[in-house]
């Protein structure tokens, strides 16, 4: 009798599959590098000419993001006070739409860009208009004291700068040893979640060329910029394994999603 009890206990030990049942292995989640809401014009530019403090997206570049401003996602990110920050100072009030924001197809794509994101990578232009060595630490980004990221953000730069903690959980880390180092650090900081690649064009192009981008959401707006910064020079997306997996037009833009096949 005792031996039978011991036998029963041994069969029900935690982690030991019962006879006739297969053990289930958990497949570790693969972290992705994703680009979302990346605006391009009809003639292929993602920023207009003469980017500056007054024109963060270049002259005419605001038109690339007119689909985003009225969305519920944008309205929840930016209160009235944040519209006075450098990143939005040149956006006309009428482009913002209703205070609660529109819950339309554009909003669905906007919201998708923040799902399961644990860290960001951005180029230096996405942090500010300054070029060359940092003159001081006064500039703290386009979005004021409480930026929109609320997680670790890794800024690609050639010039070292101390880590910059902000309100709301955002911390800017300045990476001087290249895109692979930034990717590895962002993956670790994301703690299993995906990493969002914020741009600009040169940064996205570098990660595409390296085969690191898993998903690329382009929002092609019906504007012509004539010149500026283009995403596509030197890229053969087809040879790199990318295919268009989704195309959804709205009244303000056309959403195009590319993924590696």
More confident residue, 155 or 16: 155
Number of domains into which the chain is organized: 1
Domain assignment present for 204: yes
Q: Which residues pair with 33 in a beta bridge?
A: 195
% of the chain surpassing 70 pLDDT? 83
Domain that holds residue 166: 32-260
Residues β-bridged to residue 212: none
Which tens digits make up the pLDDT trace of 207-223? 999 999 999 999 999 99
9 in any annotated domain: no
- What element of type H or E holds 206? helix 201-209
DSSP state, 82? G
Contacts for 50 with CB less than 8 Å, ≥ 6 apart: 58, 59
CA dist., res. 101 & res. 56, Å (int): 23
pLDDT surpassing 80 at residue 82: no
Q: Give per-residue pLDDT as tens, 148-179.
A: 999 999 999 999 999 999 999 999 999 999 99
Q: Which two tokens stand for residue 183?
A: 């990717």
In a domain, 231, yes or no: yes
85 vs 94: CA distance, rounded Å: 17
For residue 26, is it within any domain? no
Residue 148 counted as domain residue: yes
135 in any annotated domain = yes
- Average pLDDT for 116-144: 93
Q: Which residues of 69-83 are buried (b: 16+ CB within 10 A; e: fewer)?
A: bbbbbbbebbeeebe
Say if pTM beats, i.e. exceeds, 0.95: no
In a domain, 236, yes or no: yes
Helix (H, G, I), strand (E, B) or coil at 247: strand
Distance CA 45, CA 226 (A): 8
How far apart (Å, rounded) are the C-alpha atoms in residues 157 and 155?
A: 6
User: What CATH number corresponds to the domain at position 78?
Assistant: 3.40.430.10
- Give the pairing type, strands 194-199 and 33-40: parallel
Q: How many Cβ atoms are within 10 Å of 55's Cβ, its own excluded?
A: 17
User: Quick check: 29 pLDDT over 80?
Assistant: no
């Amino acid at each position: 009798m005792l031996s039978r009890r011991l036998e029963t206990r041994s069969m029900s030990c935690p982690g030991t599959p019962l006879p006739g049942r297969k053990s289930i292995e958990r497949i570790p989640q693969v972290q992705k590098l994703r680009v979302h809401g990346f605006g391009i014009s009809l003639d292929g530019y993602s920023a207009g000419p003469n980017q500056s403090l007054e024109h963060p997206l270049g002259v005419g570049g605001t038109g690339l993001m007119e689909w985003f401003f009225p969305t519920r996602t944008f309205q929840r990110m930016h209160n009235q006070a944040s519209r006075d920050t450098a990143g939005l100072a040149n956006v006309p009030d009428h482009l913002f739409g209703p205070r609660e924001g529109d819950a339309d197809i554009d909003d669905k794509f906007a919201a998708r860009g923040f799902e399961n994101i644990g860290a960001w990578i951005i180029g230096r232009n996405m942090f500010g208009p300054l070029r060359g060595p940092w003159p001081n630490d006064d500039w703290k980004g386009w979005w004021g004291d409480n930026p929109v990221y609320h997680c670790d953000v890794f800024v690609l730069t050639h010039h070292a700068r101390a880590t910059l903690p902000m309100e709301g959980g955002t911390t800017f880390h300045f990476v001087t040893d290249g895109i692979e180092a930034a990717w590895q650090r962002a993956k670790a900081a994301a703690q299993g979640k995906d990493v969002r690649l914020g741009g600009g064009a040169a940064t996205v192009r570098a990660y595409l060329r390296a085969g690191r981008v898993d998903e690329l959401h382009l929002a092609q707006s019906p504007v012509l910029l004539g010149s500026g910064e283009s995403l596509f020079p030197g890229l053969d997306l087809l040879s790199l394994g990318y295919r268009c997996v989704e195309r959804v037009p709205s009244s303000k833009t056309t959403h195009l999603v590319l993924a590696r096949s």
